[in-house]
Every structure is written in C-alpha cells, then in structure tokens.
Amino acid sequence: MQINEFTEKVQKVLMRELGEEYRVEIREVRKNNGIVMHGLMVLPENGNIAPTIYLDSLWEAYEGGTTFSEVMRRLTRVCREEMPRGNVNMEFFRCFEKVKERICYRLICRKGNEELLEEIPHVEFLDLAICFYYAYRGRELGEGTILIHNSHMENWGVDTTQLMRLSIKNTPRLFPGGCCSMADVLRDMMEFRKHDAGKELQWAKDIPMMVLTNPRKIYGAVCMLYPGLLERLARKEGKSLYILPSSVHEVILLPDDGGESPRELQRMIQEVNREHVAPEEVLSDNLYYFDLNEKQVKIIF
C-alpha cells in the first residue's frame, strides 16, 4: 500500500472512530531539505488547536508487519487522550510589538530548500541560510516554533535587517549556547540505554571533539553564529576550530592541532549524514573552519 493510499484509509477510519466531534484533514507538510511528510490534522469540535499527526513512521510500521487495526488503535488513543484541547488566541501574532522579544534565528541548508526560501525572509551564510522563527511559549501548547514567512514580515511592516538584529539579541538570551565534551555526550547516551560505559568512556576521553548546541538541543547549530562565542572557545583551546555540521541541532568542534585531514573529516560528515541523520535534520555536507586569526567561519571542503 502506497503512503497516499494509506493516509486516505487512515483518515476515513479515524473520522468514523472519532465521530462528529472531530474534523480530520489530510496534510502534506514540507519540512527542511525538501522532505515532505504525510499527516492528518485533527481538530476537536469547538477548538482551534489542531496538531498534525505525521503518519510516515506508522506507514513504515504497517509495511513492516504491524496490523492496520493496531495502527488505528494507537491513533485513536492519541486523539482522544493525548491531544491538547481548547482554544489559543493567536491575535497577538499580528502585533510586532508583542512578538519581537521572541524572534530568533536558525540555520538550514540552501540546497534542497530553494522553494521554501522563496517564501521566507532569510540571509545567506556560506552554503547555508539564516531564517527566522517565533519561539512560542504558552500554557495550552507548551513550547514550539512558528516559522516567519514573507507575509508575516509584510504584515508587521519590518524587513530582514530588523529580524536579524532582533535574532542576534534574542536567540543567545533565550537559548544560550554551550559546549560539552564527546565523552559527556556518550556518557548520557549510555546511561539512557543502561549501557556499560567503561571502555567506551575511556576511549572517548581521548577525543578532543566538543558538541556545541543549546540547552533544548533544538536548532542549536545556530550557536556557531552567536557573537564572540566561537572566538572565546578557540582562545580557550589556543587553536582554530574545525566545525563539523552534525545536524541542524548541533555542530561538533575539533581544535586544529595539525593532526587531522580536512578531507577525511568531510568524508566523515557525509557518511554520518547519509547513515545516521534524519534527512530533514541534515545541515550540510561541508566542513567549516573558524580561523582564530581571521575571526570568521569559512568552508574548507
């Protein structure tokens, strides 16, 4: 069964199961890097909160042997028990004065996002694009993001320069950047998996790599743009830094001690992107470099 046929079948059954209290609509959502996700927008009666439930992973589970009745059982439970209800007043989003303190920026790759970039304000940076979002926080929906489109910018009567100025100030304040060692990252992973960390952590202590991200570990790759941050880290190490874009959520920093092959580092980036990073979370296949003398980021390969 193809994904579109699966989605339509799920919609029909879910409408029957939930009844007239809900409206169920099919949605195709274009994500980062041109990835299209298939989902359902489920809107309860007398409410305006309509989260999108993505079906791609459920379709893969179905193709892998999970029964359709089990898929529907999971979806029905989520809709009835776990989805937020009520109304969220979004009128505030029309007023620039009410949103400007939470306008932030993040990084995406220009290649693969050409259509999206036609619709949103952005600033080119090497092979990447700096785009802007509103960091939503509310009682009903918790924390989330709203991507800023050209239409929002026009409605507010602002330009890209103003968005950039605000983002440079707001993003480090709301989501401060920080580094942890690769050993710390592996330790957390192993503790989460109840893994015996002995030999692996001893090996990891010898890895000079550091992971740069923010406390939420969401869109943390943009920390490499925070004013003065890379320079402070490089001065602490006493060396320039290789920057490996491991995903849109973080980058890996490697002090340049002259012992690494830039070409091999780039090959490693490409391999990790192909085998270990979700397609919509890939940032770049290129290797970056922060030159301590020039105080700027450039592409090596």
Query: For 150-185, what is each residue's pLDDT tens digit?
Result: 999 999 999 999 999 999 999 999 999 998 877 665
CB 54 within 8 A of CB 38: yes
Q: What percent of the chain has pLDDT over 90?
A: 63
Provide mean pLDDT across the span 4-33.
Answer: 89
**Which of 46-60, 225-239, 242-256 is least confident?**
46-60
CB 110 within 8 A of CB 127: yes
Q: Which amino acid is at 166?
A: L
Q: What is the pLDDT of residue 43?
A: 80
Provide mean pLDDT across the span 9-29.
Answer: 88
**Which of 43-47, 100-104, 105-109, 116-120 is least confident?**
43-47
CB 252 within 8 A of CB 246: yes
What band does 293 get if pLDDT is binned at 50, 70 and 90?
Answer: very high
**What is the rounded average pLDDT for all residues in the chain?**
87
Distance CA 290, CA 294 (A): 8
Strand order through the sheet with 288-291:
178-181, 210-213, 250-255, 241-247, 288-291, 296-299
CB 224 within 8 A of CB 214: no
Q: How many residues does the chain have?
A: 301
Cα(first)–Cα(last) distance of the chain, in Å? Answer: 42
Asked if residue 203 has pLDDT above 80, the reply is: no
User: Computed from CA positions of residues 225, 128, 218, 196, in that sequence, does the dihedral angle turn out positive or negative?
Assistant: negative
Distance CA 122, CA 110 (A): 10
Distance CA 296, CA 289 (A): 8
Select, from the ranges 25-39, 111-125, 189-203, the one with the highest average predicted confidence (pLDDT).
Answer: 111-125
State pTM to two decimals. 0.82
Give 102 or 31, the one with higher predicted confidence: 102
Where helices occur in the chain by DSSP H, the ranges are: 3-18, 56-63, 68-77, 96-99, 114-117, 150-156, 160-174, 182-192, 198-204, 229-237, 262-275
Provide mean pLDDT across the span 78-100.
Answer: 79
- Three-state secondary structure call for residue 85: coil
